[in-house]
Structure 1
Amino acid sequence: MSLYSMRTRAKICGITRPQDIQSAVAAGADAIGLVFFLPSPRNVSIEQAQQLADVLPPYVQLVGLFVNASAAEIQQILQKVPLDVLQLHGDETPEQCQAIAAQCQRRWYKAIQVKPDLDVVAEIQRYQTAGASAVLLDAWHPELKGGTGHSFDWSAFPKLEIPLILAGGLKPENIEEAIHTTQAFAVDVSGGVESAKGIKDQQLIERFMQGVQRGSAK
């Protein structure tokens, strides 16, 4: 049995409003994701991020999502926003991730888009060797960096000792099946619990987290 084969963790990503943090925490989310990527409709400013961090209780992690950001850009945000973990969601190489982590003094994990013909296991191992705490597997899109609303073939989800996070197209209706199929360490949802981009729906969050609990119990 894997060291990590306990209950499935869950992150609600792309939050822009304090009340959505409160809904996520009340429903049992383990982590909250803030997007620091200007082209994203879920992007937050440093000032917004500070306000959101202020309402986050202890024992719930704050994750910052970055796309091809420099260490200096991330450090500027870290001076004002107490991020626990960095989610590197762009084209960062293992060496770049390692350098960012060293300069920012934060744990990190890498998001990998599952492209056709990609050797996913080899790619995961490259980042694991560079010091990733986990790897997130997301659906591939030729233009978008996450938040696509699409899923990939869950049957191809690898079983490795490093914690693996499932993202892409997750929603209340399919989360139980997704967990049962992949046995992922954690799941990451954004659009699947929204009424509009960046606006979370309390009932969808609750239904999603109920599905996570059911999936974990199998």
Structure 2
Amino acid sequence: MRVLLSLTLILAAGNALAAPPPPAGQTNPDWPCHQRLVPQLTAATYWGGPPLPEHVDWRADKRVAAVVQATAPREIPADEGEKALTRFADKVPKGQRAALYPKVFAGIVEEINSQRGSVITRIQDLAHRQRDMGELVSKATTELQAIPAETTDPDKQQQRAEIVQRRGYLIRNFEEVERTLRYTCEVPVDLEARLGTYARVLTDRLPS
């Protein structure tokens, strides 16, 4: 019974950490992160420079496309992306900055939103998987509690051993998903922070 109680407490703690109650106004049951779900980032939230272009084909400008690809992918460390953007921004003639910088930032926002969308979908899939795993653990626990640990019936002993093994496997999977969720929940936040840094790099270099 002590083992059963310990495992139950572990699962309860895991549920509390991986799937906290949603913040006020947020009712999405598939969002397990502490951070509020923001499906789409708005460029204007971060940008303080000239008006951003709408529906611009930034990929048609080779200079813009190159710097977006050198800064937006999350596989690129944020500090390296910042350095690449700084090098690009410093080389742009001051007379072109007010027109070019907004296009660059619009491209970065589009790419980061695309990446965040994929990550958010991944988080929701993991949340579904963890919830299903928790239900299976609960079911296995009920089955285990129905067979006394002190039973002398060989068939019952064998059945109980199989349940213990299955339940242990499920718990390990539950905890693995929890660890993955902890890491993955930080990715959208990191991308948002990167966007704020990039906005500052560009706006700080705009002509007065």
TM-score over 0.5 for the pair: no
Structure with the larger RCO, 1 or 2 (CA within 8 Å, 6+ apart): 2
> TM-score if structure 1 supplies the norm length?
0.27
Larger Rg: 2
